[in-house]
Structure 1
Amino acid sequence: MLADTDVGSVVTAAQSGAQWGYKLLLLQFILMPILYLVQEMTVRLGIFTGKGHGELISDTFGKGWAYLSVAGLSIATTGALLTEFSGVAGVSQLFGEPRALGVVLAVVTLLVIVWTGSYRRVERIALFMGAFELVFFGIAWVSHPDLHAVFEGLTQAPLGNSDYMMLIAANIGAVIMPWMIFYQQSAVADKGLHPEDYIPARWDTAIGSVVTQAIMAAVLIATAATIGSTNPSAPLNTVQQIAHAFMPYLGDTWGRIIFSFGIIGAGMIAAIVASLAGAWGWGEVTGFKHSLEHHPLEAPWFYGVYTAIIIAGGLAVILIPNLVTLDIAVEVMNAFLLPLVLGFLVALSVKGLLATWSGYEGTVVLGHC
């Protein structure tokens, strides 16, 4: 769930606060239960069927529909990796280093983490990296937001403005992402969770939904209180521009360090999740071995797809400058992919889960009495 607040989400929240103050803050809280409902459904599907998302679509609706779903996943994963590596490249430039240095270090780190670890180890490292995002709460606190302006912004929503509506779409796309659905269901299956794990898994997802959206809200509040109140027309299309907006409140050195921790945490955990979602998705549809519990020699296609995704994303960001400006477009694209993704999710729940769930429900309840 921490991966849901990726670099693209941070940029989207920053632009929302800079351009519209607190008028998009309420949306972040409205999206909490929606995000939970979507991701909790993937938990149920994974636990009570024991299958990843791509595999379940293939078994339920056939290979053609499965390949269609994975094609949409590939598009979303590509966009995600471009934003994550662009964020890491921006951090390198923030400290006066070549953008390629940060990207290469990120690529090597991601390959070593997955190639040398079990699922549990990969998860723990990802959680450690994702915890860096918590620095955004501190940034929001030191920005000293005007509480009166916050409450006033919660009551305003200029729905007739096309720019405002575009950012609404971007925020929705930044919260409910296709690769999150694929990842969580596949992760549940790879962990080998059973029906007795359902209640803790729901709590895990609920807490994650609140925390990740609270981080989005913190970024929005910080930019609304700083650049949004002083220079709302200023561009916030790069990591450097967003960092410089906070520096008067954090100081030059600490501002760069603290903000960089947040961006690196957001980018690295999301890169792991998005790329693993892509590798799992293709593995489930094609049938090749697809588990982090397998040694790379036992599952060469799974690790090969993961490696190809990571390297391709890194090379694209090194060779093509200013890809971070595509962040808003990527999030809007995610929003347009939602009907396909949510359509499959609901159809799987209706067709393949209800009978299984009714059989397990009594067992789950009795197991927790």
Structure 2
Amino acid sequence: MPGPSSAAVAAVAAHPAARRGLLAVWGPGLIVMLADTDAGCLVTAAQSGAQWGYALVLPQLLLIPILFMVQEITVRLGVVTRKGHGQLITETFGRGWGAVSVAPLVVSSIGALLTEFAGIAGAGELFGISPWLTVPVATAALLAVGLMGSYRRAERIGIVVGLAQLFFVPAMLLARPNPAALLSGLGQLPLGNQGYLLLLAANVGAVIMPWMIFYQQTAVIDKGLTAADLRRERRDTAFGSVLTQAVMIVVIVTLAATVWTHHRNASLNTVGDIAAALGPFLGGTTASVLVGLAIVGAALVAALVVSLAGSWGLADVFGWRHSLNERVGRDNWRFYLVYALIHVVGAAVVLSAVNLVQLAVDVELINALLLPLVLGFLLALEAKALPPEHRMRGPYRWVVTGLCLVVIAFGLSMVPQALAAL
């Protein structure tokens, strides 16, 4: 089955510099984590802070090690087997299970991409720019990045753009959160409240998403990383895990210090509503600029990662050639066609108008419901597809397995409530 590796990728992997320089190794973990904090996640975090204050900060901290452990397994599967996630499932468990594994990827990717384009449209409207301009321009830019014929170049562009979500940091500083209220909120977990549980499920779904696993496993291959780079790629993933959760906490704290503290009944249905709610505390123009830039940066990097993950996953299962290091040709046109169609269809749906806040929360809830299947496949591959020397051992295996089982059990327990809320 043709995989993502190509002559170009092999040449990169063979080059000594590919394993010497920090920047030559770091990237897949950072970009996938920046994409993890996408427009939908930022909106979910904003809704969390506005509705529950600081009570959802502690779960964000607890999710850091789980996020790292899940993606670290993904990295090992990629650099050791040199196969994409869908391809590895297909070869290990059969084509039927490969198709089953892609189902949550497709659902999650479509939902996520819709939130990205809706976020871009909403951010443009903050400055009076029509979605009929911002969404097509964003679509064209994303297509151009994917068609450059270089994974490394696409990754660098994605990281630079994705770092714009850090504009929420000055927003938090201007909001002047109360340290005492923040510390008090860390001890509040109203698990008996169904509304809190639903937002907690949405936040869990906002942290571990199916497309992240498919993306990073193929990205480390396309970048030419090998088992020799494993330790530094773990650090890349660890840094990204802390960064993405720090951004989520920053957004929650910003909304908790403003909307939740002073105007708890504020209606947040669009990016404009979030900026308007922060306006009295940050200044109208400042709020629009900071929120707009953060949402656009998060949405663009996530749209790039999500569309690539979906295209790579489908190509894995169907056996199409799919390396970003190769320009469009007779062997890989199906992969690039899917990549293009994902953007065009997503943009068209968003231009028909959607409620971003409700869409974002619903998408993250769906991700939480898909976690049992996604994590189940991941643990099974770790135990069966990796050679013994690269498998988890000792207490670490039990900790990772135990945490994954807790997340799986939580996802299953939320099925009735989440389905009722969708």
TM-score, length-normalised on structure 2?
Answer: 0.83
**Post-superposition CA distance 1:47-70 (Å, at most 9, x none):** 111111001001100100001111
Cα deviation for residue 234 of structure 1 reads 1.2
> For residue 308 of structure 1, what is the aligned residue in structure 2?
341
* Structure 2: distance between partners of 1:336 and 1:275: 21
Distance 1:328-1:142 versus aligned 2 partners, 3 A rule: same
What CA RMSD, in Å, does the superposition of the two structures yield over aligned residues? 1.3
* Structure 2: distance between partners of 1:184 and 1:274: 11
Structure 2 residue 204 is matched with structure 1 residue 172: yes
SS in 2 for 1:175: coil
Cα deviation for residue 354 of structure 1 reads 4.1
Structure 2 residue 127 is matched with structure 1 residue 95: yes
**Post-superposition CA distance 1:67-94 (Å, at most 9, x none):** 1111110000000001000000101211
**Post-superposition CA distance 1:282-318 (Å, at most 9, x none):** 1111111111011112421111100000111000000
> For residue 145 of structure 2, what is the aligned residue in structure 1?
113
> For residue 367 of structure 1, what is the aligned residue in structure 2?
none
Structure 2 residue 90 is matched with structure 1 residue 25: no
SS in 2 for 1:96: coil
Q: Which residue identity does 2:388 align to in structure 1?
A: A
Distance 1:284-1:356 versus aligned 2 partners, 3 A rule: farther
Moved over 6 A (4+): none
> For residue 414 of structure 2, what is the aligned residue in structure 1?
none
Structure 2 residue 160 is matched with structure 1 residue 133: no
Partners of 1:86 and 1:324 within 8 A in 2: no
Q: Which residue identity does 1:160 align to in structure 2?
A: G
Residues 285-300 of structure 1: pairs in structure 2 closer than 5 A: 285-298=317-330, 299-300=332-333
TM-score, length-normalised on structure 1?
Answer: 0.95
> For residue 383 of structure 2, what is the aligned residue in structure 1?
350
* Structure 1: distance between partners of 2:131 and 2:264: 28
* Structure 1: distance between partners of 2:35 and 2:220: 16
Partners of 2:36 and 2:212 within 8 A in 1: yes
Distance 1:288-1:356 versus aligned 2 partners, 3 A rule: farther
> For residue 67 of structure 1, what is the aligned residue in structure 2?
99
> For residue 321 of structure 1, what is the aligned residue in structure 2?
354
Partners of 2:68 and 2:237 within 8 A in 1: yes
Cα deviation for residue 323 of structure 1 reads 4.5
* Structure 2: distance between partners of 1:328 and 1:137: 22
Residues 1-369 of structure 1: pairs in structure 2 closer than 5 A: 1-298=33-330, 299-355=332-388, 357=390
Cα deviation for residue 324 of structure 1 reads 4.3
Cα deviation for residue 326 of structure 1 reads 1.1
Structure 1: gaps spanning 5 or more residues: 359-369
SS in 2 for 1:180: helix
Q: Which residue identity does 1:312 align to in structure 2?
A: V
Distance 1:250-1:117 versus aligned 2 partners, 3 A rule: farther
* Structure 1: distance between partners of 2:389 and 2:219: 20
Partners of 1:279 and 1:306 within 8 A in 2: yes
Partners of 2:125 and 2:131 within 8 A in 1: yes
Cα deviation for residue 102 of structure 1 reads 1.2
